[in-house]
Amino acid sequence: MFDRRELMRAVAAAADAWMDPDYDHRKVAVEETLQAPNTFTEEAVTFAVNQQMSLLTAKALGEWIGARSASSCCTVGVLNAGNIPLAGLQDFLAAILTGHRYLGSVSSKSPALLPTFVADLCRFERDIAANFAPLHELLAGADALIATGSNETIARLRDGARGLAADDAQDEATGKAHDIPMARCLFRGHSFAVGVLDGMERADTYERLAEDVLLHEGFGCRNVAVMWAPRGLAPDDLLEAMARFRGIFPVHGNTAGRLAMQKALLEAIGASHAYGEDLEFLVSRGEPEAQHPGHLRWTEYDDIADVNAWLSRQPVQLVVAASQVQKRLTFEGLLLAPGEAQRPTLDWRPDGIDTVDFLSCL
Amino acid sequence: MTIDDVIRVFTDLKASTAFDEMIAVVLTHQYAHNPVYRRYCKAIYPEWDKSLSEWENAGDKEFWSGSDAQKTTHLPILLPVEAFKQAPVTTFPPEEAEKLFESSGTGNGVRSRHYVRDLSIYERAISVHFAREFGTGPFLFASCLPGYAEQGSASSLLHMVDFLMRRFGVEGSESVPGAPERLRHLSDRSRGEGVPLIVFGAAFGLLDLLETASFSLPPDAIVVETGGMKTHRREIARTTLHRRLKEGFGAASVRSEYGMCELLSSCYSRQGGVFYPPPWMRFQVVDPTHPFESLEEGREGALAVLDLANVYSASAVLTQDRAVQCGDGFEVLGRLENADLRGCNFLLKDV
């Protein structure tokens, strides 16, 4: 029987150690992460680690988990995406704090941060049941699954999930990816974040919005990809804020190369666009469509009802807007103040689903 | 060689050197007459004019793959397929188009538009390749393309199937969505008359048919699924789709067609999910964010194509399809949406 209170204390102690940028395990993990094939910058990794670790106090962990606990322990497989530094930390904590065994995959994009933190945590609390394994071993060994992916990826995983549909159940011997029942799978589709302006925003609001748009180079489902603005509002204030943000969080070396093709296409079709010095960001006017990472789409509206109607049809993870704008939105998902998109809280519910609830019901 | 020479003979193409010569002529023509392509080339590579003139003198790296082997000496600038959504991609005034094809718009709703100057080029490309892959028939055709009918004449898929039915079909070939009894009738007729049956169908149109009944098609029947995996239900994996089609259609063989309104050539799978292009089309799998970097066989990336049939629009196109090269063919793994690039997706290559 695991002692959850002891475990929470261990997590908090490990997080406290990790708050120090010079802590050896953190330093080694960060250095290894920055050498991996990803788009992380040192500043963005530092931001993510500090932000996530600052949340992990014993009190906050206790309030997040509450009395929720699994009635029987199982092995929870988690396919970690790796597009964002420390992505998957919440799933790991939810799994072990609800009393399950954790079996994670290691993303080649972010091979060190989460595994090193987990290994370090085991120094504080030896009885933690957590391991990492290659994908095929993970799928073979897990009793439950948490996975995030594209439509096709999720389709393949769903088709490998027993009990999806009557006709699927007839094909037991046809080489399925895994044999985990559908009810024990939590699949998260792809999504993006949206910003909504009303023209009354002040300079400091734009500063925060710049972080929502540019941190992590446009990757991740919490990144603001589409900015709605009332017709006629000039984007200058946001552009200036984005340029200032780049002074604090320098662009990744690959971003300009990625955006060059996007910029060329905008020029080819004669679309209105703006970009930062050395192509450190790109903004274009047009239809409300998520563009490539690092490319913000600026879309104008005449009536907020049009924004509400669009939001209801899109895979939107969250919306950032000032409080006076939030009151006019009918979006039923997560509404945040500008500057909160890249700062997920412990109790954040991706796709509106509570991971702890899912795990405690297994 | 002139652009008119290319138009006249590209479907007779046999030698890879001829392809190299033709694509150089076509891209030079498009650079001169297609403002969208020219602006794109200039924006992404200001030295492109010079590069074009040096085309034939470039190195001998093998960049492009195709069914008849091949060596193309240059990596041309690929126009992202999204351009077809944003502007007329033509070498001629769009109002002079003989035909306008539009995408089905099942994704985010914004449709691609392909202005076709000369429909006979398209019809020649699809019929010559069809004959290479399936023979000249005659065949008994059944089409099952629900949803596309709403697009009417703007659907390139509908036009292709209608044209192939007229070109290679016997009288009585017909559309059968939601009419299992009609497919049964065609199946019986195929057996009775010894005319091979070809069923062209969108993925979910075919699955809808199988929900109402199962069929025992003749052993020489061919089911050609044309994609459309997410028209009105959840996404389905192609391997699962093929498994269900094989189970539901009896002895018939199942093949796939790869095409889109932005490309006037199409590809067919022969066995498994590997597509093979016609001789006048080449492909390459590239890094989607750095398309000047080709990826070696087996690695996932974005599918890039050179299609001579697109002579009046853009022949060098970077698609939004995730693909992997398999020998002389390619396998399509899914879409490469911007939202996917942003999101927390991972590649499931081990599953």
Residue type, B259: G
The percentage of residues in chain B with a pLDDT greater than 70, rounded to a whole number, is: 82
* Nearest chain B CA: its distance from A274 CA (Å): 14
User: Is B299 part of any domain?
Assistant: no
CB contact, 8 Å: B79 with chain A? yes
pLDDT band of A141, cuts 50, 70, 90: very high
Predicted pLDDT at A258: 83
Predicted pLDDT at A37: 87
Q: Are residues B70 and B123 in the same domain?
A: no
Q: Which of B108, B110, B341 lies at the smallest CB-CB distance from A293?
A: B341
Spatial strand order in the sheet of A130-132: A130-132, A101-104, A75-79, A144-148, A185-188
- A265·B86 Cβ contact <8 A: yes
Report the range of poorest mean pLDDT among A205-209, A223-227, A275-279, A300-304: A275-279
pLDDT average, residue stretch B65-88: 73
Please report residues of B whose CB lies closer than 8 A to that of A267: 39-40, 43
Please say if the pLDDT value at position A65 is more than 60: yes
Residue A123 tokens, joined = 């120094």
Predicted pLDDT at B234: 57
Predicted pLDDT at B145: 86
Q: Are residues B192 and B259 in the same domain?
A: yes
pLDDT band of B243, cuts 50, 70, 90: confident
Q: Which of B80, B234, B340 lies at the smallest CB-CB distance from A190?
A: B340
Q: Are residues B170 and B28 in the same domain?
A: no
- B235·A155 Cβ contact <8 A: yes
- A264·B338 Cβ contact <8 A: no
Please say if the pLDDT value at position B150 is more than 80: no
**With a CB-CB cutoff of 8 Å, which residues 29-68 of chain A face chain B?**
none
CB contact, 8 Å: A6 with chain B? no
**With a CB-CB cutoff of 8 Å, which residues 276-295 of chain B face chain A?**
289-291
Please report residues of A whose CB lies closer than 8 A to that of B43: 263-264, 267-268
Q: Which residue has the higher pLDDT, A4 or A50?
A: A50
Q: Are residues B163 and B72 in the same domain?
A: no
* Nearest chain A CA: its distance from B276 CA (Å): 22
Q: Are residues B240 and B134 in the same domain?
A: yes
pLDDT band of A155, cuts 50, 70, 90: confident
ipTM above 0.85, yes or no: no
Q: Which residue has the higher pLDDT, A264 or B208?
A: A264
Please say if the pLDDT value at position B345 is more than 60: no
Please say if the pLDDT value at position B66 is more than 60: no
Domain boundary assignment for chain A: 4-149, 192-336
- B234·A158 Cβ contact <8 A: yes
What's the 3-state SS for chain B? CCHHHHHHHHHHCCCHHHHHHHHHHHHHHHHHHCHHHHHHHHHHCCCHHHHHHCHHHCCCCCCCECCCCCCCCCCCCCEECCHHHHCCCCCCCHHHCCEEEECCCCCCCCCCEEEECCHHHHHHHHHHHHHHHHCCCCEEEEEECCCHHHHHHHCHHHHHHHHHHHHHECCCCEECCCCHHHHHHHHHHHHHHCCCEEEEECHHHHHHHHHHCCCCECCCCEEEECCCCCCCCCCCCHHHHHHHHHHHCECCEEEEEEEECCEEEEEEECCCCEEECCCCEEEEEEECCEEEEECCCCCCEEEEEEEHHHCCCCCEEEEEEEEEEECCEEEEEEECCHHHHHCCCCCCCCC
Q: Which of B44, B83, B345 lies at the smallest CB-CB distance from A153?
A: B345
Predicted pLDDT at B75: 67
Give the N- to C-terminal CA distance of chain B in Å, as an integer: 48
Predicted pLDDT at A1: 58
- B290·A257 Cβ contact <8 A: yes
CB contact, 8 Å: A257 with chain B? yes
**Of B274, B307, B330, which residue constitutes the final position of a domain?**
B274
Q: Which residue has the higher pLDDT, B264 or A149?
A: B264
pLDDT average, residue stretch A323-340: 97
DSSP-derived 3-state class of residue A244: helix
pLDDT average, residue stretch B125-142: 95
* Nearest chain A CA: its distance from B241 CA (Å): 10
Predicted pLDDT at A32: 95
Please report residues of B whose CB lies closer than 8 A to that of A265: 40, 79-80, 82-83, 86
Q: Are residues B54 and B128 in the same domain?
A: no
pLDDT band of B339, cuts 50, 70, 90: very low
Predicted pLDDT at B343: 43
Q: Are residues B35 and B141 in the same domain?
A: no
pTM for the whole structure: 0.84
Predicted pLDDT at B344: 40
Please report residues of B whose CB lies closer than 8 A to that of A188: 344
CB contact, 8 Å: B44 with chain A? yes
- Domain A4-149 and domain A192-336, same fold? Reply is no
pLDDT band of B350, cuts 50, 70, 90: very low
Tell me the pLDDT tens digit for each residue of B183-200: 999 999 999 999 999 999
Please say if the pLDDT value at position B99 is more than 90: yes
Q: How many domains does chain B have?
A: 2
* Nearest chain B CA: its distance from A268 CA (Å): 5
What domain range is B198 assigned to?
Answer: 119-274
pLDDT band of B74, cuts 50, 70, 90: low
Q: Are residues B138 and B269 in the same domain?
A: yes
The Cα–Cα gap between A264 and A245 comes to: 24
Predicted pLDDT at B29: 95
**Of B274, B309, B331, which residue constitutes the final position of a domain?**
B274
Please say if the pLDDT value at position A171 is more than 70: no
- B322·A152 Cβ contact <8 A: yes
Q: Which residue has the higher pLDDT, A188 or A45?
A: A45
* Nearest chain A CA: its distance from B110 CA (Å): 9
Q: Look over chain B and give the mean of its residue pLDDT values, rounded to a whole number.
A: 84
Predicted pLDDT at B349: 41
Q: Are residues B270 and B123 in the same domain?
A: yes
Please report residues of A whose CB lies closer than 8 A to that of B37: 268
Predicted pLDDT at B54: 56
CB contact, 8 Å: A292 with chain B? yes
- A261·B322 Cβ contact <8 A: no
CB contact, 8 Å: A151 with chain B? yes
Q: Which of A83, A152, A160 lies at the smallest CB-CB distance from B333?
A: A152
Please report residues of B whose CB lies closer than 8 A to that of A168: 240
* Nearest chain A CA: its distance from B226 CA (Å): 17
Please say if the pLDDT value at position B59 is more than 50: no
CB contact, 8 Å: B82 with chain A? yes
Please say if the pLDDT value at position B268 is more than 50: yes
The Cα–Cα gap between B83 and B37 comes to: 9
Q: Which residue has the higher pLDDT, A196 or A82?
A: A196
Instruction: Return contacts of A345-354, CB within 8 angstroms, 24+ apart.
Output: A345/A55, A346/A55, A346/A56, A346/A60, A346/A61, A346/A64, A346/A90, A346/A93, A347/A64, A348/A90, A350/A148, A350/A188, A350/A221, A350/A317, A351/A188, A351/A189, A351/A191, A351/A317, A353/A186, A353/A188
Predicted pLDDT at B73: 41
Beta-carbon contacts below 8 Å between A and B: 162
pLDDT average, residue stretch A238-259: 93
Q: Are residues B48 and B162 in the same domain?
A: no
CB contact, 8 Å: A219 with chain B? yes
CB contact, 8 Å: B39 with chain A? yes
Q: What is the CATH number of the domain that holds B228?
A: 3.40.50.12780
User: Is B301 part of any domain?
Assistant: no
Please say if the pLDDT value at position A9 is more than 90: yes
Predicted pLDDT at A156: 74
Predicted pLDDT at A168: 34
- A83·B322 Cβ contact <8 A: no
Predicted pLDDT at B239: 76
Q: Which residue has the higher pLDDT, B241 or A301?
A: A301
pLDDT average, residue stretch B289-304: 85
CB contact, 8 Å: B37 with chain A? yes
Tell me the pLDDT tens digit for each residue of A300-319: 999 999 999 999 999 899 99
Q: Closest-CA residue in chain B for A157?
A: B351
Q: Are residues B37 and B158 in the same domain?
A: no
Residue A359's closest CA among A104, A35, A132, A65?
A65
Q: Which of B40, B80, B342 lies at the smallest CB-CB distance from A225?
A: B342
Tell me the pLDDT tens digit for each residue of B198-212: 999 988 889 888 888
Please say if the pLDDT value at position A100 is more than 50: yes
Q: Which of A154, A223, A271 lies at the smallest CB-CB distance from B86?
A: A271
- Which superfamily is assigned to A4-149 in CATH? Aldehyde Dehydrogenase; Chain A, domain 1 (3.40.605.10)
Predicted pLDDT at B105: 64
User: Is B329 part of any domain?
Assistant: no
* Nearest chain B CA: its distance from A27 CA (Å): 25
Residue from B78, B299, B346 whose CB has the most chain A CBs within 10 Å, to mutate: B346
CATH architecture observed for domain A192-336: 3-Layer(aba) Sandwich (3.40)
Please say if the pLDDT value at position A112 is more than 90: yes
Q: Which residue has the higher pLDDT, A321 or A172?
A: A321
- A81·B346 Cβ contact <8 A: yes
Predicted pLDDT at B348: 46
* Nearest chain A CA: its distance from B162 CA (Å): 30
- B334·A152 Cβ contact <8 A: yes
Q: Look over chain A and give the mean of its residue pLDDT values, rounded to a whole number.
A: 90
Please say if the pLDDT value at position B110 is more than 90: no
**Of B242, B274, B306, which residue constitutes the final position of a domain?**
B274
Predicted pLDDT at A151: 67
Q: Are residues B148 and B268 in the same domain?
A: yes
pLDDT band of A238, cuts 50, 70, 90: very high
User: Is B9 part of any domain?
Assistant: yes
Q: Which of B86, B333, B344 lies at the smallest CB-CB distance from A220?
A: B344
- B342·A293 Cβ contact <8 A: yes
